[in-house]
Each structure stands twice: as structure tokens, then as C-alpha cells.
Amino acid sequence: MSDEKVQKPTRNRLLIILSIITLVSIIFFIASTCYICSRDGFKKEIKIVQDGTTIDSLEIKSLNMHPGEIVNYQVVLNSTASGNYEVVMNFKEKEDGGLKNFIIVTIMDGNKEILNKKLSEVFTDGKIKMNCNITAFKSYVIDIKYTMPVETGNDAMSTNASFDIEFTIDMV
């Protein structure tokens, strides 16, 4: 009888440990097969010069994505003078890794959508112009979002894109 009492708590502990391992495995499996995910936190700060033209660039190196993924970038403009500024973005392809045909670029100026099209079209369309009313000593944010639609097929796997976004900023 004493052997049975010793085996029962050991068996119960073993079942509890097994249950915990199974639960953790299920949670890990669900998290690793998630089709919608987002990478945030990419930020580029540009200080606007007062006399002349500000030129700066954001380098996107070997961007790779999977179906359903969203990658967010923020471009933060800072100026010591309030006024209307023309911001010109020029997307310059550095290497064609095939991804440009699959991802959608969305550019937002606050709540206003400036652009929403395939990256391949952005490369061929030329420069994107925005008029921005910037207040001195307040950050002005432009959001750039790259999305690979969930329905994108396996053709997009192991593709990438490398490009620069050149910013030219003038007070108007």
C-alpha cells in the first residue's frame, strides 16, 4: 500500500508536467504559424536645414517578408522653423531580389493616404511629392508601411528587396 501511495503523487506530477509541456508546445505552434504579424520600430529622423535644401536617405537593405506580414517605418521630420515644406521621396532600387512584385507600399501623412501601390510601380512611377505643414520644434511623422498580402503564393518565398528612399525637402 505504501508503494501505491508513493507512485500516485509521482504519476500526478508527471501528468501535470506533461500537460504543461503540451500546452506550451501548442502555444508555440500557434505563434509560429501566425499568418499576420508586424515588425515595427524602424525610425529615421531627418533634421531640416533652414538655408537651402535638405537631402537625406533611408536605406532598406535585403527586406524580406512572408505572406501576411507588415513592416512599418517612420520618417520623423524636425525643423526649427514653421512653414510649408515640399517633401519629395524618390525610391531607388539597388538590387532586384523579386520582392518588389509582391509587396504593397502605403505612405501615410497623418490620417491621409498619400500612396498605396506595389513597390514595382513605385520604382517606375518616379518621385512622390507631399506638401507638409511643419511646426517648429514639433516632430512631423510620415509612416511608410510594406505589406505582403496573405494570399501571396509561394513564388514570393525567399525573395527580397534592397533600395533607398531619397528625401529632398525644401521650404515653399
Q: Residues 17-51: pLDDT tens digits? A: 888 888 776 655 544 444 445 556 689 999 999 88
The number of distinct structural domains making up the chain is 2
Same-domain status, 50 and 21: no
Same-domain status, 98 and 137: yes
CATH assignment at residue 55: 2.60.120
| Poorest-pLDDT segment among 25-39, 41-55, 74-88, 100-114 | 25-39
Same-domain status, 152 and 124: yes
Same-domain status, 16 and 43: no
The answer on pLDDT for 5 being more than 60 is no
User: Which pLDDT value is given to residue 101?
Assistant: 93
Same-domain status, 59 and 44: yes
Same-domain status, 73 and 126: yes
Place of cell 518565398: 157
Same-domain status, 8 and 81: no
**What pTM, to 2 d.p., does this model score?**
0.75
Same-domain status, 20 and 80: no
Q: List the beta strands (DSSP E) in 14-159.
A: 37-47, 54-63, 69-78, 83-97, 104-109, 112-118, 128-134, 140-147
Strands 69-78 and 37-47: parallel
Same-domain status, 58 and 138: yes
Domain range holding 5?
1-33
User: Which pLDDT value is given to residue 27?
Assistant: 59
Same-domain status, 88 and 49: yes
Alpha-carbon gap, residue 21 to 31, rounded angstroms: 15
